[in-house]
Structure 1
């Protein structure tokens, strides 16, 4: 008598996330994943398979990394932009896009090229009134140069502040006189010397001018409530810059590239500003 045939085994049902394609044995695990993954339209997505990635770094690995997905890598190599990772329908469209996507490095203003503001003048003279006056909010980007204070030069002291608008036009620049003596100018990094800070503006006046530009004529209560005409403040590691300036600005008015999830590593650690500008702007 023939042995009875083994009953057919039911295949294990896998529950797939439609955004990142992760699979789970139990539906409750998929639900928990959806609650904590924060998938959104702002996340980079593969133009071939439409997979969501946590960051552009993850998307780049998905398309061009050591172990890329085969079909995605093949199509991207023929139709994709290596800089912004966008996908195009035709070679002509890709060529046209590359001409505008390859941003040329802007002329980086040197220490001597930016306008110098003597402390005897009103701090308002350092800004472009056409761009810093009242009007639509928009956004401004800030960058600060830090020198060292304290006996070992490890204290972070703001010595230079620069603001640019959305068109990369300089609207404010000045050197800052720290509240305590500078013991390390960090010249190799900042390019600053004692001469630059000899007639620099006190930190308090610089802070007042920055708030005047950012608030854009709005009361601080209005800014904290819904922003109004106040300007968004863009930067990298803004908490550090604002701490060194001893300045407060509402969290909902900040846009920090160090905390923007699509620009972070897969373990949600921030990339350096140098890496971000090289990877996404093509600047050396």
Structure 2
């Protein structure tokens, strides 16, 4: 019999305990066009369709779902309008407080288009939240080069948002302050010290657009996390055990 060595990160069916390559393949195993009979039945009765866990009873599953489905966070626009005192302050930046013992922050950037063909990604907005989903930093970013397409349908941005945007150098300094958390660069590179983990999707692209770099061992990029990736076209849902 072929032996497979599975990682603790690989999703596993709570009924038959088969390991799957991704959450997509686990979902297919439980709820797809050709689900596994007993597994599908148990999941329908006692499973959570969000995190894919299966519980001992339907009551336990119902209780879990109340905690698993978190309410949406307060919209950034609401926080910014409260801090600025006016909903019309389009170029607001926000510097929140972050606990010294907070170990991780998540970052996302909005890109507008530059260049004659509008294909160059230029960071125009950045947002960081802490591990409790509290807004830590938000700013519209002064474009590093002329904007030729605001990509408004996706970004929601217009020229008005960037009229008084924060200079890129100030944005870089603030993000570094949050990430390094008072730690010296040499120690961050060696063993991180007090520096925080940075979480995001396609972080390499976001950091490049900001003109920043950060040690690989402190990055948690969902674009590179295998269980969140799509499977190949063959859709192998499990490996031999």
Query: Into which bin does the TM-score normalised by the smaller protein fall?
Result: 0.7 to 0.9
Determine if contact 1:185/1:194 at 8 Å carries over to the other structure.
Answer: yes
Q: Contact between 1:137 and 1:232, CA under 8 Å: does it hold in 2? A: no
Bigger Rg, structure 1 or 2: 1
Pairwise mapping of residues 1-284 of structure 1 onto structure 2 (< 5 A)?
Answer: 15-17=1-3, 34=5, 39-110=6-77, 113=80, 126-129=94-97, 131=98, 135-267=100-232
Q: Contact conserved, 1:175 with 1:200, CA < 8 A, in 2?
A: yes
Runs of 4+ that moved beyond 3 A: 110-116
Larger RCO, structure (CA 8 Å, separation 6 or more): 2
SS at match of 1:201: coil
Alpha carbons 1:232, 1:253 under 8 Å: kept = yes
CA distance in structure 1 between the partners assigned to 2:194 and 2:208 by the alignment: 24
Give the conservation status (yes or no) of the 8 Å contact 2:73–2:133. Answer: no
1:137/1:216 contact within 8 Å kept: no
- TM-fit CA distance, 1:52: 0.8
CA RMSD of aligned residues (A): 2.0
* Structure 2: unaligned runs, 5 residues or longer: 85-92, 234-241
Question: 2-side partners of 1:112 and 1:73: how far apart?
Answer: 43
Instruction: Give the distance between the partners of 1:223 and 1:137, measured in 2 at CA.
Output: 16
> 1:62: Cα distance to partner?
0.7
TM-score, reference length from structure 2: 0.86
Report how many residues are paired.
224
Cα deviations by residue, 1:155-194 (Å, 9 ceiling, x for unpaired): 1100111100011110101111012111111111111111
Whole-angstrom distance in 2 between the partners of 1:93 and 1:166: 27
